[in-house]
Amino acid sequence: MSAAVTPAPARVLTPLVLLCLGTVYVVWGSTYFGIKVAIQTLPPLGMLAARFGVAGALLLLVLRLRGAALPTARQWAASAAIGTLLLGGGTGLVTLAERDASSSVAAMIIAVSPLFAALFGRLWGERTGGREWLGIAVGLIGIALLNAGELRATPLAAALLVLAPLCWTFGSQWSRHLPLPPGLMGSAAEMLTGGGVLLLLSLLMGERWGAPSAASLWALAYLTVFGSLLAYSAYMYLVAHTRPALATSYAYVNPVVAVLLGVGFGGEQLGTLGWAALGVILTGVLLVVWPRRAPTHPAGAGA
């Protein structure tokens, strides 16, 4: 069996990379609020199973109508591993935690994702530059300032929110070395297999479906179309084509979006310290996403 080919991380912020970054920055920042609304009357894991199952099936159908080939057995197996880690372990644990934690706290703790991504990236020989480490540190300081004195989560919820980015970032880095289906077919296969795992977990946990509210159904629709079909596909493109710290830099912007939604729609208040923290966070993001200087030695040179 041949080894999976890992694309070289992009050194230039191309228009497509910028578009994908903007998508995951804004859309995934809003999904924390969307999840909170959805699970008010929907079972957490069952809701996610429906979200990813429907999104994956729709994407697969569109791709097949356009002539894309179905994944091979080996590609389905790789997709199941990544779907389980990212959607079952990552998104699933966040959703369970949001039963006992505010959406802003969830976004805060998930902000450690770039740090975990950099550490896991080193397992496969990827180097994180000094400026990226500085950006990670600055971003974490900003997140701490943003939530100073406002931590509202049970110990179990906090533990789940720490485990979630471990699953997510390990799966993200591992995905670059597995034989996944090419392009959007990989996203479709991961959502279908991850949705299947979430459905199984929902059944094992004995979740029950009641009468959902209109708000929860609208939130589920938003999460399916924008959070899954659009943003998840954009994220997987970033994972395959950019540096780990850049691909996961959304974790610093997401809390900003989550807080602004809380202020605008949830009646939350943000003081002077909070607004200052947002500036610190954005500084950290800028340090991470600023393009690296191109190497001066000829391509391919080295030991």
What gap in Å lies between CA 90 and CA 250, rounded to an integer? 15
Query: For residue 210, with 0-12 CB atoms within 10 Å meaning exposed, 13-18 middle and 19 or more buried, which class applies?
Result: exposed
Report pLDDT for 293: 58
Which residues, 6 or more positions from 27, have their beta carbon under 8 angstroms from its beta carbon?
226, 227, 230, 231
What gap in Å lies between CA 303 and CA 294, rounded to an integer? 18
Question: Residue 53 in contact with residue 191, Cβ under 8 Å?
Answer: yes
User: Of the ranges 40-54, 129-143, 230-244, which is most confident?
Assistant: 40-54
* 87-109 pLDDT, tens digit each: 999 999 999 988 887 776 777 66
pLDDT tier for residue 242 given thresholds of 50, 70 and 90:
confident
Over range 136-145, report the average pLDDT. Answer: 78
What gap in Å lies between CA 173 and CA 242, rounded to an integer? 11
Query: For residue 125, with 0-12 CB atoms within 10 Å meaning exposed, 13-18 middle and 19 or more buried, which class applies?
Result: exposed
What gap in Å lies between CA 205 and CA 104, rounded to an integer? 26
Q: Which residues of 241-279 are buried (b: 16+ CB within 10 A; e: fewer)?
A: bbbbbbbbbbbbbbbbbbbbbbeeeeeeebeeebeebbe
Whether the per-residue pLDDT at 236 is higher than 60: the answer is yes
Report pLDDT for 93: 93
Query: Which residue did the predictor score with more confidence, 258 or 68?
Result: 68
What gap in Å lies between CA 135 and CA 129, rounded to an integer? 10
| pTM recorded for the entire structure | 0.78
Cβ count within 10 A of residue 148: 12
Centroid of chain to Cα 291: 21
* 75-91 pLDDT, tens digit each: 999 999 999 999 999 99
Report pLDDT for 214: 96
Which residues, 6 or more positions from 38, have their beta carbon under 8 angstroms from its beta carbon?
47, 216, 219, 220, 223
What is the dihedral angle through the alpha carbons of 64, 70, 75, 79, rounded to the nearest 10 degrees?
40
Report pLDDT for 252: 76
Over range 172-197, report the average pLDDT. Answer: 92
Report pLDDT for 253: 80
Whether the per-residue pLDDT at 47 is higher than 70: the answer is yes
Report pLDDT for 152: 56
Q: Which long-range contacts (CB under 8 A, 24 or more apart) does 126-132 make?
A: 126/9, 126/173, 126/243, 126/244, 128/243, 128/244, 128/245, 129/292, 131/287, 131/288, 131/290, 132/243, 132/245, 132/287, 132/288
